[in-house]
Structure 1
Amino acid sequence: MKHWITALTVAGAFALPMGAQAQDNYPSRAITWIVPFSAGGPTDAMARNVANRVAQELNQTILIENVGGAGGTIGAAKAAKSAPDGYTFLVGHIGYMAAAPSLYARLPYDPVKDFQAVFRFPDTPLVLLVGESSPHKSLPDLIAYGKQHPGKLNFSNAGVGSTSHLVAAMFASQAGIAITPVAYKGAGPALNDLMGNQVDAMFDQTNTALPQTKGGKVRALGLTSADRMAQYPDVPTMGEKAIPGFQVSTWYGLYAPKGTPNKVVQTLYQAWQKALADQAFTGKMAEQGIQLLPPEQYAPAAFQQFTADEGKRWAQVIKQAGITLQ
């Protein structure tokens, strides 16, 4: 299903970025961003937020096309096979652009070879949660229990191979404990069972977990960010309390099919740079616990290298945890 996202302001052709004018007034028609998940989830919400702002800078419509299934790999495969004409892009995600090559025996695309990175979105750290009535009052308490009772801690996640699954596996490995993953069809059901005390713990994104932590329905034990966050003033980082150097975030970004003209890539990137200069836009993201990055990390070349590096990083985690998908 496609949804229209249009510019909120109207301007003439002279408002188009210089790169767009050089590319035959690109974009001269609507652009499609493929989101490989159903509408309403965190990836879809992030994509719509960014697309709406970029559409304003391009002075053109951006279509969001939700193509769900197989952990995002179906939508990614469709984007990889799209014409590299600058009118179809993929909203990429840590799962199907970094972890998938090590999870699936046969993947119909290569995240690095079949795509050109356009720009990276801001990151979203995760937070380790337990239920309100959990006996585990701190991160060291939880780890100590895990060491004393191998496999007794049940960690819910949004599905096999999801970010919450992979980060829990990384956590268990670095903490030196054995946990039991419990997979759900999405983060919502996984969080509901945590609040209902059906499972012991869960990693969730800081922005989506915030309402539940503020409402006292869950308790936050540790953040995966490098530093403490204003939205979680009393919650330490994982590295601060238990696992030095532990840092990971859910990341997103825009990719074009390989072969897309560089002028097109630069036009989109320039539009994104202008959006990032809007403090009202970035301020709202920061308020939600979404972390802005150093300017150079958003750029196409840096994001392309980051994608390759993340693939190697998660290959090690997945191999060590023994996670496989058919």
Structure 2
Amino acid sequence: MRFIKTVLCAFAAAAAVGAAQAQAYPTKPITWIVPFAAGGPTDALARSIAERVARELGQPIVIDNSAGAGGTIGAAKAARATPDGYTMLVGHMGYMGAAPALYKKLSYDPVKDFEPVFRFPDTPLVLMVRKEHPARNIEGLIDFARKSPDKLFISNAGVGSSSHLIAALVASAANVKVTLVPYKGAGPALVDVIGGQVDGIFDQTNTALPQITESKVRALAVTSKVRLPQLKDVPTLAETVLPGFEASTWYGIYAPRGTPKAVLDKVQQAYLKVMTDKAFTDKMSSQAIQMLPAEQYTGAALGKHTEAEVARWKAVAAKTNISLD
């Protein structure tokens, strides 16, 4: 009996210490691991949101660009981090949704090794081609691919990036052969489209819009369900060549499994407060970033979405034989 009381007292003391630490959190800078290169759409969106969340928490958020292997290196690094709330992962559809289906060996589990904290708004993609490409619309590009096999080169931000995965998905759905050219980041991939070294790219709206506005590339289609207000003249894939098609890049913040719930709640609350700032959300909307209903921003919603995406991509991989090994 004395032993049980001692153990209970120890647990109570530990709980009290944990609660006190969570209440004080954060007392030093927080690191967000972004598993892609600096300057790309994931990095840009993460920095924009991190700046605002940091203000609410009263501590800076430092971005750690741990790129490589389609984001899986950074994700694995985050999974191994101390679960104290000071290291978190900027999750992405590739390494937190598709990776379990696309890699035979993965050193982390997106569901079991992480605590979901909150979800970002979604970002559709735009299919753009170099200005001199003969295809004037998406139907023309599909026709070009069918008549000239092995001659359509589509760049992407790297193996496992959304620009890679969605390009592969579209090519499979349209039954065309496309050469996918991986780069070390979305920036150089887009530069080579503008320069004419490759034919096109699926790029996220927040980095694509300036290039389209300045007429450096030609936009042929968007991957969203409906047309985007900023690109009213650009059709969706669903209304043209792929009825029912819809795909966007989704993101979320994850913490290593075991991070105290009180800490997770505090970070989530800070983010939800940011998302009530109309000036900030209007700015994101102006970049064609798709705002979500408030209830979908929570950690619980992100957890359910992650599980659903892992299952979805396993089905896609089985159907299309997409593999990254």
| TM-score between both structures, scaled by the size of structure 2 | 0.88
**In 1: Cα distance, 2:210 partner to 2:187 partner:** 13
Q: RMSD of the alignment, in Å?
A: 1.9
Counterpart of 1:159 in structure 2 is 158
Counterpart of 2:116 in structure 1 is 117
Cα distance, 1:312 vs structure 2: 2.2
Cα distance, 1:151 vs structure 2: 3.7
Equivalences for residues 86-97 of structure 1 within 5 A: 86-97=85-96
Letter in 2 for 1:147: R
Letter in 1 for 2:194: M
Aligned residues: 307
Identity of aligned residues (%): 58
Cα distance, 1:318 vs structure 2: 3.5
Letter in 1 for 2:183: Y
**In 1: Cα distance, 2:141 partner to 2:241 partner:** 10
**Kept after mapping to 2: 8 A contact 1:166/1:317:** no
Cα distance, 1:257 vs structure 2: 0.8
Counterpart of 2:3 in structure 1 is none
Counterpart of 2:261 in structure 1 is 262
Equivalences for residues 21-170 of structure 1 within 5 A: 23-170=22-169
Most deviating of 167-176 and 54-63 = 54-63
**Kept after mapping to 2: 8 A contact 1:169/1:317:** no
Structure 1: gaps (5+ residues): 1-19
- 2:316 partner SS: helix
Q: Structure 1 residues 126 and 45 mapped into 2: Cα distance closer, same or farther (>3 Å)?
A: same
Greater gyration radius: 2
Counterpart of 2:285 in structure 1 is 286
- 1:283 partner SS: helix
Letter in 1 for 2:233: D
**Kept after mapping to 2: 8 A contact 1:88/1:256:** yes
| TM-score between both structures, scaled by the size of structure 1 | 0.88
**Kept after mapping to 1: 8 A contact 2:41/2:206:** no
**In 2: Cα distance, 1:167 partner to 1:77 partner:** 23
- 2:24 partner SS: coil
Cα distance, 1:281 vs structure 2: 1.0
**In 2: Cα distance, 1:70 partner to 1:186 partner:** 12
**Kept after mapping to 1: 8 A contact 2:22/2:260:** no
Equivalences for residues 139-288 of structure 1 within 5 A: 139-288=138-287
**In 1: Cα distance, 2:280 partner to 2:205 partner:** 18
- 2:238 partner SS: helix
**Kept after mapping to 2: 8 A contact 1:172/1:179:** yes
Cα distance, 1:174 vs structure 2: 1.5
Letter in 2 for 1:100: A
Q: Structure 1 residues 64 and 154 mapped into 2: Cα distance closer, same or farther (>3 Å)?
A: closer
Letter in 2 for 1:221: L
Letter in 1 for 2:52: R
Letter in 2 for 1:298: Y
Larger proportion of helix? 2
- 1:23 partner SS: helix
Letter in 2 for 1:249: S
**Kept after mapping to 2: 8 A contact 1:166/1:318:** no
Deviations 1:19-55 (A, max 9, x none): x989332223322222223332222221111111111
**In 2: Cα distance, 1:256 partner to 1:130 partner:** 38
Structure 2: gaps (5+ residues): 1-18
